Homo-oligomer: A and B are copies of this chain.
């Protein structure tokens, strides 16, 4: 009747919208914003499968808590899908919102580098492997949503102590977007380390 009241469909969309950009809103507040009774709000939440305020907060809290717990997951950037130690490796990394310049949605260079660098270090079968120097070419800008496939090839034989050369080529589909030549210090393999854990990873 009143102009403000929307049909169910649109109201529910707005409800999703409102909760999405302020998850801390109570049903009470929602009645004010949507001009319907609290029961309607609750029926809507039911239908949409949106949990109550406390449940939402709990989920957020748990998520952040888990994140903190598993922080060393950023030890390796990108998802290593194939690894032949001292020979080659492949990793996949999807460019998300947090990796791009907000203005033009182009990936910041250091994320592309981070993937390549992580892979170059992972592929070296050594207890301690550190980047010594690198030579980079950002062939073309990478955009939000694109999947970067980085391929690393070790150029020097594992016998050679001290330094290893690794070439990393990163592709989006067929297209090469980045190329880097890394020199990696290796620690002469004093520590015997079967490398399993070190190269473990998940998104």
Complex interface residues of chain A between 152 and 188 (CB less than 8 A to chain B):
none
Measured between beta carbons, the chain B residues less than 8 angstroms from A64 are 60-61, 63-64, 67
- Please give, as numbers and ranges, the residues of chain B lying within 8 Å of A127 by CB-CB distance: 103
**Cβ A65 vs Cβ B23 within 8 A:** yes
Q: Distance in Å from the Cβ of A99 to the closest Cβ of chain B?
A: 9
How many copies of this chain does one complex carry? 2
Q: Hey, which chain B residues are within 8 Å of A60, CB to CB? A: 60-61, 64-65
Given contacts A60-B61, A61-B64, contact A138 B132 (CB under 8 A): yes
Bound-state CA distance A130–B103 (Å) is 12
Interface size (A, Cβ < 8 Å)? Answer: 45
A72 close to chain B: CB less than 8 A: yes
List which A39-68 residues lie within 8 A (CB) of chain B: 54, 56-58, 60-65, 67
Question: A106 CA to B61 CA in the complex, in Å?
Answer: 30
Chain A 128-149 interface residues, beta-carbon cutoff 8 Å to B: 128, 130-138, 141
Asked if A118 is an interface residue, CB under 8 A from chain B, the answer is: yes
Kindly specify which of A28-36, A84-92, A107-115 makes contact with the partner chain.
A107-115
In contact, A138 and B131 (Cβ under 8 angstroms): yes
Residues of B within 8 A of A62 (CB): 24
Cα A133 to Cα B181 in complex, Å, equals 11
Q: Is A98 an interface residue (CB 8 A)?
A: yes
Of chain B, the residue at the smallest CB distance from A117 is B110
- Is residue A82 contacting chain B, with contact meaning CB distance below 8 A? no
A123: CB under 8 A from chain B? no
A77 sits at the interface (CB 8 A):
yes
Once bound together, how far apart are the Cα atoms of A110 and B63, in whole Å? Answer: 26
**Residues of A near any B CB (own CB < 8 A):** 23-24, 54, 56-58, 60-65, 67, 71-72, 74-75, 77, 97-98, 101-104, 106, 108-110, 113-114, 117-118, 121, 127-128, 130-138, 141
> Nearest 5 A-B pairs (CB), nearest first?
A64-B64, A109-B131, A60-B61, A110-B114, A57-B61
